[in-house]
Amino acid sequence: MVMVKKIGLRVKVFSGDRREYLGLGTIIGFEKVQFGLDVLSIPIIKLDSGEEIRGYECWWISKEEADMIEKEHCGRIVYE
């Protein structure tokens, strides 16, 4: 599965060290960030709690992809 970054995409968000689940959020925009000679488009995520976080401050995955991984590899049942 290829993850498409787009405004409105629902995502599951984890702390930078991946030890804490921060919650569900939605990509609300993008910020251009200089990285060496490249310019990256980094998502701005608004968590359901109301907090905004940048894609370079955390680990994130689309909710759809995360649910699929949980179902296939962890045997968890994901309720919508």
In this prediction, residue 25 carries a pLDDT of: 95
Q: What is the mean pLDDT of each run of 10 residues along the chain (80 residues)?
A: 76 91 95 92 95 92 83 60
In this prediction, residue 1 carries a pLDDT of: 45
Residue boundaries of the structural domains of the chain? 10-74
3-state SS of the chain is CCCCCCCCCEEEEEECCCCCEEEEEEEEEEEEEEECCEEEEEEEEEECCCCEEEHHHEEEEEHHHHHHHHHHHHCCCCCC
